[in-house]
Amino acid sequence: PGLTEEYVVCALNALSGDGGDPAADERLHARVDGLLDGCAGPLGLPYLLVLWSVVAGPRPAANERALAHAGEDPWARALLDMGLAYQKQYAGEADGSRELVSRALKGFRAAGDRWGMANCLDLLGLHAQLRGQGAHALELLDEGLVHVRELAAPEETSDLLRSRATVLLGLDPGRADEAAAGFGQALELARGAGAADKVAGARRGLGDAARLSG
């Protein structure tokens, strides 16, 4: 009693690994979902919102619950804005996504959270690229890389290096060798972190760079 959030942290850590028993994972997932439903007010451990989103993935139906769990905590609100920005992006609502992630970036800057800033800058870089502002996209991604390198965060650094290399290819195919170097660095970091999806993304980028360089 009184340790519900601490229990959820442990359960989410278990679910983030490969338990080898899908049925047991499904039961634990449902258990966590039920416990979070029972948390009526703001969470004492707001970073649970991050852990849950990683384990459960985007769940628009749970947005209202997440807002209640965030309460008025500035960092938690910035986190939710970032998550909602990605939901808008995946739904094809670019303007709404850009507005939310810009607000999230301000919140993370105010909180001094470099991880949050870097993730926002990654998405803002994508928006800039899609609007034909490749040079500005590189500026945003370069700032993000400063933050994640200060944190020595290999997966996030891999993400930003891959994003930067992708922008380079779109901006100037003549810089394919430079882009390939970025994809190569992203690949090594992802491989070292055991992030198979990021390894695949970096390999795809290397293939694109090779194709464009002939």
| Model confidence pLDDT, tens digit, residues 13-60 | 888 766 677 888 888 888 988 888 888 788 888 888 888 877 877 677
Q: For residue 20, give the 3-state DSSP assignment.
A: coil
What residue type is assigned to position 182 of the chain? G
Q: What pTM was estimated for this model as a whole? A: 0.86
Of 15, 100, 3, which Cα lies nearest the Cα of 45? 3
Q: Is the pLDDT of residue 62 over 80?
A: no
Beta carbons within 8 Å of 177's beta carbon, 6+ residues apart:
209, 213
Helix axes 176-193, 154-171, angle to 10 degrees: 160
Burial class (CB in 10 A: 0-12, 13-18, 19+), 164: buried
Contacts of 147 (CB under 8 A, 6+ apart): 114, 115, 117, 118, 121
Please write the tens of the pLDDT for every residue from 141-197: 999 999 999 999 999 999 999 999 999 999 998 999 999 999 999 999 999 999 999
Query: What residues does each domain of the chain span?
Result: 1-58
